[in-house]
């Protein structure tokens, strides 16, 4: 193990110890009000210190969040019912709901991964009933995906796919494709090069 890896592991261990009281106070994600308080507080910590703090807090409170994850400034998980695999990168100012994010997936800034499409049902008179009566579903984003800036993800994204900046994913995206637009549509296979303009 290299000296750099040893130092990184040491720093991660220090942040786990420092954030342990926050994890305990939030019931390791079970006390929703306190979990949300600490999630918001950690979201506002700047720089590399904040990145380590967020990784440690979510390691303690989410269903799974390896310390190899990088979660940037302003980003928070709205629910502890989220699962990150190894080496996930999440940019600044993202809001992640009930999601399972595959290994090595990279999410750009200002992306929203919403817990499904039917959060606010209406009654027979058209009045909104509230989120507690809506349908929440886990969104699956496969491994090795790229989710472009300001995308909104409301449906599953297959492994190895690229979602364009500003796209709105309302239907499942298959693996290894490039999709963009509102609503997002498949444009081409992810392995294909740029279109031939000649």
Q: Is residue 193 part of a domain?
A: no
Joined tokens for residue 60:
């303690």
Which residue, 92, 91, 19, 12, is CA-closest to 62?
19
Domain containing 149: what range? 3-188
Q: Is the dihedral of CA 32, 37, 42, 46 positive or negative?
A: positive
CATH of the domain at 81: 2.160.10.10
Q: Is residue 155 part of a domain?
A: yes
pLDDT tens column, 73-109: 999 999 999 999 999 999 999 999 999 999 999 999 9
Check residue 198 and give its pLDDT: 38
- Residue 6: which region, alpha, beta or left (left: phi > 0; alpha: psi -120 to 50)? alpha
Check residue 103 and give its pLDDT: 98
Check residue 197 and give its pLDDT: 33
Check residue 191 and give its pLDDT: 77
Q: Is residue 196 part of a domain?
A: no
pLDDT tens column, 8-52: 999 999 999 999 999 999 999 999 999 999 999 999 999 999 999
Which residue, 60, 48, 47, is CA-closest to 16?
60
Check residue 195 and give its pLDDT: 44
- Residues near 19 by beta carbon (within 8 Å), at least 6 away in sequence: 42, 53, 56, 57, 60
Count: domains in the chain: 1
1 or 70: which leads in pLDDT: 70
DSSP states along 96-165? E-SEEE-TT-EE-TT-EE-S-SBSS-B-TTS-B--GGGSB---EEE-TT-EE-TT-EE-S-B-TT-EE-T
Q: Is residue 180 part of a domain?
A: yes
Check residue 120 and give its pLDDT: 58
- The stretch 177-189 carries a mean pLDDT of 95
Q: Is the dihedral of CA 20, 25, 30, 32 positive or negative?
A: negative
d(CA 46, CA 185): 36
d(CA 110, CA 16): 26
Classify strands 152-153 and 168-169 as parallel, antiparallel or unpaired.
parallel
Check residue 131 and give its pLDDT: 54
pTM: 0.86
pLDDT tens column, 109-154: 999 999 866 555 676 777 776 555 556 789 999 999 999 999 999 9
DSSP 3-state of 46: coil
Q: Is residue 61 part of a domain?
A: yes
Mean pLDDT of the chain: 90
| 189 has a pLDDT exceeding 80 | yes
Confidence class for position 196, pLDDT limits 50, 70, 90: very low
Residue 66 near residue 85 (C-beta atoms within 8 A): yes
């Amino acid at each position: 193990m290299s000296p750099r890896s040893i130092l990184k592991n040491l720093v991660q261990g220090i942040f786990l110890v420092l954030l342990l009281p926050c994890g305990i106070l939030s019931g390791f994600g079970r006390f929703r009000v306190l979990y949300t308080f600490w999630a918001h507080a950690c979201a506002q910590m700047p720089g590399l210190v904040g990145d380590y703090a967020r990784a440690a807090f979510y390691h303690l409170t989410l269903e799974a969040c390896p310390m190899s994850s990088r979660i940037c400034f302003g980003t928070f998980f709205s629910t502890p019912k989220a699962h990150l695999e190894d080496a996930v990168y999440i940019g600044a100012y993202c809001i992640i709901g009930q999601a399972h994010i595959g290994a090595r997936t990279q999410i750009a800034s200002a992306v929203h991964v919403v817990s499904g499409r039917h959060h606010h049902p209406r009654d027979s008179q058209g009045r909104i009933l509230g989120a507690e009566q809506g349908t929440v579903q886990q969104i699956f984003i496969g491994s090795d995906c790229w989710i472009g800036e300001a995308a909104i993800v409301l449906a599953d994204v297959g492994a190895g796919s690229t979602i364009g900046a500003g796209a709105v994913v309302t239907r499942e995206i298959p693996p290894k494709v490039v999709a963009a637009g509102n609503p997002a549509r498949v444009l081409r296979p992810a392995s294909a090069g740029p279109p031939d303009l000649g």
